[in-house]
């Protein structure tokens, strides 16, 4: 529970039907842990989720007056490029890529997918690229259980397929932070 009902101040909600807290006196940076995205009155925000343990370490360093680095972290994995992160300030960029491994000469395995991409949408994208003639594959198998694993069985000319797959839209996701913060 994030608040103590005895010490938290309450007010009526916007329509007067329920009570809601005026503020939540949380000692943990929950907003950074969960992330948020929204648009209101011409202003927009996008806060990417962060790793719980890294947030705790950064909070301790901050309270001790030490420097720390904190970057977004994603449940679905993927490789992140934070070169344009801009310390989370406006105008920053983050790129997240899928992690593709070569199991053997006829099989590629996607081990992580970018944040916001589902295994189903990725598989549909691969099949659609095959149907449109952009790549040539035999079949796509979703072996995802605890960890993501999409197996792509290749047709001949696999080097060209690997290059083509790395350029696919769903394998690389870019997040841009709006410049219209208050």
Stretch (H or E) spanning 24:
none
| Structure confidence at residue 179 as a pLDDT band (50, 70, 90) | very low
| Structure confidence at residue 166 as a pLDDT band (50, 70, 90) | low
Q: Which domains does the chain have, with CATH numbers?
A: 10-73 (no CATH), 98-174 (3.30.1360.40)
How confident is the model at residue 180, as a pLDDT?
41
Tokens of 45: 């925000």
The residue behind tokens 């006196």 is: 25
How confident is the model at residue 156, as a pLDDT?
72
By the 8 A CB rule, do 166 and 100 touch? yes
How confident is the model at residue 65, as a pLDDT?
94
Q: Which SS3 state, helix, strand or coil, does residue 164 take?
A: helix
How confident is the model at residue 174, as a pLDDT?
60
CA distance 36 to 50: 11
Does residue 169 surpass a pLDDT of 70? no
The structure's pTM equals 0.60
pLDDT in tens, 42-75: 777 778 888 889 999 998 999 999 998 888 887 7
pLDDT in tens, 85-135: 766 666 667 777 777 888 887 888 888 777 777 888 888 888 888 888 877
CA distance 43 to 24: 23
């Amino acid at each position: 529970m994030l608040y103590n009902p005895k010490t938290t101040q309450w007010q009526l909600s916007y329509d007067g039907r329920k009570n809601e807290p005026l503020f939540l006196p949380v000692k943990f940076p929950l907003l950074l842990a969960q992330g948020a995205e929204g648009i209101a009155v011409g202003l927009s925000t996008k806060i990417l989720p962060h790793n719980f343990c890294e947030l705790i370490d950064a909070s301790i360093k901050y309270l001790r007056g030490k420097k720390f680095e904190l970057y977004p972290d994603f449940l679905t994995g993927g490789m992140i490029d934070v070169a344009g992160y801009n310390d989370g300030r406006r105008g920053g960029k983050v790129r997240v890529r899928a992690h593709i491994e070569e199991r053997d000469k006829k099989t590629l395995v996607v081990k992580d997918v970018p944040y916001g991409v589902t295994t189903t949408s990725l598989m549909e994208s691969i099949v659609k690229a095959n149907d449109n003639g952009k790549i040539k594959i035999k079949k796509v198998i979703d072996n995802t259980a605890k960890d993501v694993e999409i197996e792509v069985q290749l047709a001949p000319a696999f080097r060209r397929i690997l290059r083509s797959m790395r350029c696919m839209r769903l394998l690389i996701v870019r997040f841009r932070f709006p410049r219209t913060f208050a």
